Each structure stands twice: as C-alpha cells, then as structure tokens.
Amino acid sequence: MTLLRTALVGLLALVLGNAAAGATEPIRVEIVEHGIYTLDVDSTVRDDNGINQNVVSNICHVATTTMIPMKPHLTFGFRYRVSGTEPDGDRLVRLTKVVSFPDEVTPPGAKRPLRTYKEVFAAPIGIVGYIGYGFDEPWELMRGIWTFQLFRGGRLLAEQNFTVIEDPNAPTPRRDSNSTCFQMSSL
C-alpha cells in the first residue's frame, strides 16, 4: 500500500507541476515613473475625434510631479511596464488608454463633444512603455484634474491623476543632464 501511495503522490505532483508550468500569470501594469516629459514629435495625424496622434521619439522625463503647469507645448504622462503571461504565449497585450479631461470639449473637426478620449494599442510584455498628453493646441489648455488610465478589456490596470494649474510664474522643466531619456521599442 505504501508503494501505491508513493506512486500516486508522485503522479499527482507531476500533474500539478505540469499544470502550474502551463498556467498563465494575470496581466498587470506597474507605473514606473510619472510627471513632465520632453519629446520629439516625428509625425502627427488628427483622428476622427479631433485629437492629434503623435509618433514620438527621444522621450525624456524632466520632472516627477502631479501638478502640471498649464503651458503650451508641455507634455505630461507616465511610463509603465506590463507583466504577466498570455495563454497563447503572445508577447503583446491589447490595452486601452483612456484620458479624462477636466471639462467637456469639442476639438476642431470632432463630431461631438468629448469628456474622455480612448485609444487602443498593443503593448509588449516586459518592456517599458509611455502614455502621455501634450498641450499642442489652445483648446487643450484646461485647468483641473486629468486622469490617465490603462484598461485591458473592462479591467482597470493603472491610473494616474494630474492636476493642471494656471501659474504663469511656474517654470517649464527642460531637458538637462538629470533627465531620464529613453526610446520606445518598435516591433
């Protein structure tokens, strides 16, 4: 009986070990840095909501803050890292970025007023990414709380609030030797 019990326990351990090896780890997002950034805009396309979609490079973190001065051409947001595993072994995760504005706005060319802006994109697992927003046009200069969120399906994975303030004397952080710059990876 002891030999049979040992064999069953060994078989059970083998089955459970194989199941654990094939198990997926839930997708998570960690915010690794937030604040004000400088970047280079390589190209811009206005989407159907009247929001400019920029392809950017040379992204540099210049200040860690949640208080954002309302100044033209200032960019703010966060860097994040996706972790976990997909059942099919895919290294890309489909995420939805949601930016909630302090007030309802109607960007030029928009079909209707917006309170939130959504964008779906693929994020690589294990690689640091960036989401942000830049004050490129006068209508974007709004005081109040801006909320940036990342969702997977209906599940909120990350959220960061920024308070945009009107302070004409606030310095605009610039790129310097203390800036942390990085390149977005291309797939």
pLDDT (0 to 100) of residue 4: 47
74/26 Cα distance (integer angstroms)? 35
Of residues 130 and 25, more confidence is placed in 130
Q: How far is CA 184 from the centre of its chain?
A: 12
Per-residue pLDDT, 23 = 64
Residue 13 pLDDT: 47
Is the Cα dihedral 105, 110, 115, 116 positive or negative?
A: negative
For all residues of the chain together, what is the average pLDDT?
85
Q: Name which residue leads in pLDDT, 89 or 165.
A: 165
What's the rounded mean pLDDT across residues 25-49? 93
Q: Which of 14-18, 22-26, 103-107 has the highest mean pLDDT?
A: 103-107
With a cut of 80, say whether residue 180 has pLDDT above it: no
DSSP state of 66: S
SS3 6: helix
pLDDT of residue 11: 43
Collapsed DSSP state (helix, strand, coil) of residue 42: strand
What's 70's DSSP letter?
-
DSSP 52-110: EEEEEEEEEEEE--SEEE--TT-EEEEEEEEES--TT--SEEEEEEEEEEEEEE--TT-
